[in-house]
Amino acid sequence: MSSADTHCPYCALQCAMTVSHAGSTTVTGRDFPTNRGGLCAKGWTSAELLASPQRLRMPLTRQPDGTLAETTWDEALDAVAAAFRDTKAAHGADANAIFGGGGLTNEKAYQLGKFARVALGTSRIDYNGRFCMSSAAAASNRAFGMDRGLPFPVADLDEAQTILLLGSNVAATMPPFLAHLAGARAAGGLIVVDPRRSATARLAEDGAGTHLQPAPGTDLPLLLGLTHIALAEGLADRAYIEERTTGFDALRRSVSAWWPERTSSTTGIPVAQLRETARRLAAGGAYVLTGRGVEQHVDGTATATAAINLALVLGLVGREGSGYGTLTGQGNGQGGREHGQKADQLPGYRSIRDPEARRHVAGVWGVDPDEIPDAGVPATALLGELGGPVKTLLVAGSNVVVSAPDVDAVRSRLKALDTLIVCDFFLSETAELADIVLPVLQWAEEEGTMTSLEGRVIRRRRALPGPEGARSELWIMAEIARRLGAASTWSIDPAEVFDELARASEGGIADYSGLSHALLDTGVEAYWPYRSSGTPRPFAEHFAHADGRARLVPVEATPPTPTDRGADLTLTTGRYLQQYQSGTQTRRVTELHKARPEARLEIHPATASRLGIRDGVLVAVSNERGTVRARASVTTDIRHDTVFLPFHYAGDECANRLTEAIVDPTSAMPEFKRTRVQVKAIPDATTPAPHHIAASPVVVAEHQGVAPPLVGVAGGAAPGVLITSATSPSAPLPSSLSPSTPSSSTEEETHV
């Protein structure tokens, strides 16, 4: 029997688990500050995918008849190298492009950035984290001089009296996080801002807090209004503002127009709730936390900035017992954006246009600084270049045919490429379009590191060998670089790659220079920046700007301009508890598929009645970009002017067929949360086949994965939230969330 202590492959909470393999593979929760032995449904079932019959085991290449067929590694890599070489010769270096992912280990994300700039000489690299964290990152960099999702350990939240949670349904996205909300709930201070009555919003009911249900896209006016109240009622911490910030006078003027009555009329939140929220936040022991719901907008950076401004005005940031943070989504969403996948960054969170940064990194790579390309373009713009300036694309760790905005246009551009190369462990919807598919290892089959939402660098450890024929991306990049005659060295040993990453990051904002795999294996608490010791609370004494002060940055709220004619409802997208990201993994897990086999459109009863829609019927959700088919869930958990779709599904159920490729001007974050649509019942529609992905015809293997029973969490406040503790039965949970009976497959059908 083999086993390894590692971490969950899904979200940035990075719950600790032990993976054991003896004929079949199992996972058990392991005690760790973020999850305390608990795992959610996705974590418990994660081992099933390791032995899935749908695993890719040999490279695939497109045949003359249009099918994909197995080939050898040498033939596939020769073809990849030839495509990159021929494209560069005919069209220039920037005609080759890379699209990465926030789930890659730090080592692979680092090597991918190096591969693009050294082996290919291209500036065209970005990643799917641009769809996830870019607005919060831009706001944090501007305000604090540093972007670290939570600039404090998650466990600090345990003692909070008040938590303002904006745009995050943590009950669905990271259920073990709920344990850290227990103190605020007990104090009646959990304040959840969401247009939906989500499972997390339900936690704020019955004396545990408040659910603020604003109109979609009005989080920015809400935050401006709360800041106005804080100033008008003398709740601001003037001593803190004077000592630790700059820009207060301009900020004060910028919020003067958002008096409570105007804020209420814009957001739909009663004045009394606005005042009570501001007063609770000012009373002490308060945290402001943001998620994708406030950031995935064309004004997402401004909204995240307004949240930071509110926290700074109240003196919350960098003080013991209070704070501001943003909840990173993808497993390595934090580390993935620090070391070179972003279009404008070099390792260590350095600007690629900083001459000193270029000199330092070039020295580590053994190249001339002038050979490092300039900044490229962010993800949505990069996808817009496919088939035009960009002729050859390598995708690693992303499924853009489901996750990108306006995916029908993205699909057309992918088809227009000369060559599409995809690294994946399953034949995702993007891989199905590829000319060359390269099979890679999964999380429990590799060594490496990840960086959690709290800036903690942790070890991913190999528990079992991967399937014969699958390879690490590090090996793939090294082999292609060798074929291209690339400069520098290309190790395939994750520990050696990490050592190089550490040297390249030295002196940067995200400095990992004091870390190594060997040190991390001792169990050291490694919060970056880590030179000789970790920094769990980097803002305790000063901020990362040269003068040590935070910047209060005035922002303005401007009403959105509708671009879809004839649409009368606002579509917002989000997640289900039992699914993850584009569903490439979770739609293949039996237990998770049974729980959520299809996309459901949440619609208010009054709106459904007006449109002649009954619960359970198929509806068409349409705008100028396309149409999505989904089954209606009629529920009072949604506003009458809003509908909701999950974004995990493909084909006719893909929510991103409707979203528009417009972006925040600062962060380049697409507008995912506010799309105008029409909804109509489909008369006499037949039931569509749910997107449970059939086994690939090119891969056959015996299924050996097992999953332990899922334990539901009781309590009317959060039906369907799944979290259990295998190794720590007494792991603390919110008082109303005690282990209960096994979950049913239809649980929470209209709630999360």
3-class DSSP state of 479: helix
Distance of CA 99 to the CA centre of its chain: 15
Element (H, E) at 171: helix 170-173
Task: Write down the pLDDT at residue 564.
Answer: 58
First and final CA of the chain: distance in angstroms? Answer: 38
Beta-bridge partner residues of 17: 6, 29
Q: pLDDT class for 2, splitting at 50, 70, 90?
A: confident
Domains of the chain by start residue, with CATH: 2-53+705-742 (no CATH), 60-132+384-520 (3.40.50.740), 135-326 (3.40.228.10), 569-681 (2.40.40.20)
Tokens of 600: 């459901």
- Over range 473-477, report the average pLDDT: 98
pLDDT over 90 at 558, yes or no: no
- Over range 244-263, report the average pLDDT: 97
Beta-bridge partner residues of 663: 670
Task: Write down the pLDDT at residue 200.
Answer: 95
pLDDT over 70 at 694, yes or no: no
Q: Which residues contact 149 (CB under 8 A, 6 or more apart)?
A: 12, 133, 136, 325, 326, 327, 328, 333, 334, 453, 454, 455
pLDDT single digits (tens) 603-626: 999 999 999 999 999 999 999 999
- Tokens 């926290």 belong to which residue? 311
DSSP assigned state of 216: T
pLDDT over 70 at 563, yes or no: no
- Over range 730-747, report the average pLDDT: 32
pLDDT single digits (tens) 456-472: 999 999 999 999 999 99
Listed in sequence order, the DSSP H helices in 586-735 are: 590-595, 605-610
Give dist(CA 309, CA 326) in Å, integer. Answer: 14
Task: Write down the pLDDT at residue 296.
Answer: 82
Give dist(CA 699, CA 304) in Å, integer. Answer: 45
More confident residue, 683 or 427: 427
3-class DSSP state of 40: coil
- Tokens 């959700």 belong to which residue? 621
Give dist(CA 582, CA 587) in Å, integer. Answer: 9
Give dist(CA 517, CA 509) in Å, integer. Answer: 20
CB distance 45 to 62 below 8 Å: no
Give dist(CA 222, CA 232) in Å, integer. Answer: 15
- Over range 358-383, report the average pLDDT: 97
pLDDT single digits (tens) 51-88: 999 999 999 999 999 999 999 999 999 999 999 999 99
- Of 335, 343, 325, 367, the closest CA to residue 505 belongs to 335
| Torsion 25-71-90-484 (CA) sign | positive
Predicted TM-score (pTM) of this structure? 0.90
Burial 571-584 (b: 16+ CB within 10 A, else e): bbbbbbbbbbbbbb
Percent of residues, the chain, with pLDDT higher than 70: 90
Task: Write down the pLDDT at residue 458.
Answer: 97
Query: In whole numbers, what is the pLDDT of the chain averaged over residues?
Result: 89
pLDDT single digits (tens) 713-730: 322 333 344 444 333 323
Q: Which residues contact 522 (CB under 8 A, 6 or more apart)?
A: none
- Tokens 């402001």 belong to which residue? 288
- Tokens 């939906």 belong to which residue? 196
Tokens of 61: 């290449």
pLDDT over 50 at 11, yes or no: yes
